[in-house]
Amino acid sequence: MTRIISGAAGGRRLATPAGSATRPTSDRVREALFSRLEHLDVLAGARVLDLYAGSGALALEALSRGARAAVLVDSDRSAVKAARANSRALGFAERVEVRRDTVERVLLGGPAGPGGPGGPEHRFDLVVLDPPYELDEQRLADVLALLVLHAWLAADALVVLERSGRSPQPMWPSGLEASGERRYGETRMWFADAPGPDEVA
């Protein structure tokens, strides 16, 4: 059973996608991750981008704990159906946009959509990525680079990447600085920071 762990919707169950195309983050790993995010004070009022979102559990947990709004992206029909159903069931539908598309196509459009990158109000304070473990490292590096190149990240944004415990360190692009990792059993979480306005040359 997947559920919201804490916050306004704490304890509520989540629908999960049918089939094996998605891999839910375990409650134990989410609890550890969100304890760290709350310690870093990145959730309150944050705009959240959830890539390879599956059921939406990561973004919805963030909303339950004080995030302001979220965009969820997944190409799997069953995952998108579950994410939309979960958003409605938790009362978050007005604060959530779910996009059925590939992550690459969405990122190429920029945060304001087809018209190109938007202003700071369209950018994201927290980006969480939980790609399939079989996604190769170069393709993942290209996705991370698109976050920077197409202006998805707010100043001081945090990027969190979930991978297999056996995965190598991500190839972070210029514009993202590795800021630590945590291992939880077979899962590894990588963290990177976007520069704040005072750090940009």
Chain position carrying tokens 């998605």: 22
Chain position carrying tokens 């989540």: 14
pTM for the whole structure: 0.92
Distances (CA, A) of 165 to 35, 185, 186: 20, 7, 5
Q: Is residue 23 exposed (0-12), middle (13-18) or buried (19+ Cβ within 10 Å)?
A: middle
pLDDT tens-digit series, residues 1-10:
789 999 999 9
Domains along the chain with CATH numbers: 2-16+25-193 (3.40.50.150)
Instruction: Decide: helix, strand or coil at residue 1.
Output: coil
CA dist., res. 187 & res. 23, Å (int) = 11
Average pLDDT, the chain: 90
- Give the pair of three-digit tokens for residue 86: 């979960």
48-82 per-residue burial string, b: 16 or more CB within 10 A, e: under 16: bbbbbbbbbbbbbbbbbbebebbbbbbbbebbbbb
Instruction: Decide: helix, strand or coil at residue 12.
Output: coil
The mean pLDDT of 137-159, rounded to a whole number, is 96
Query: Which of the given ranges, 13-17, 142-146, 185-189, has the highest pLDDT on average?
Result: 142-146
Q: How far separated are the first and last CA of the chain, in Å rounded?
A: 47
pLDDT tens-digit series, residues 24-69:
678 888 999 999 999 999 999 999 999 999 999 999 999 999 999 9
What residue type is 6 in one-letter code?
Answer: S
What DSSP designation does 157 have? E
CA dist., res. 57 & res. 70, Å (int) = 11
pLDDT tens-digit series, residues 99-109:
999 999 999 99
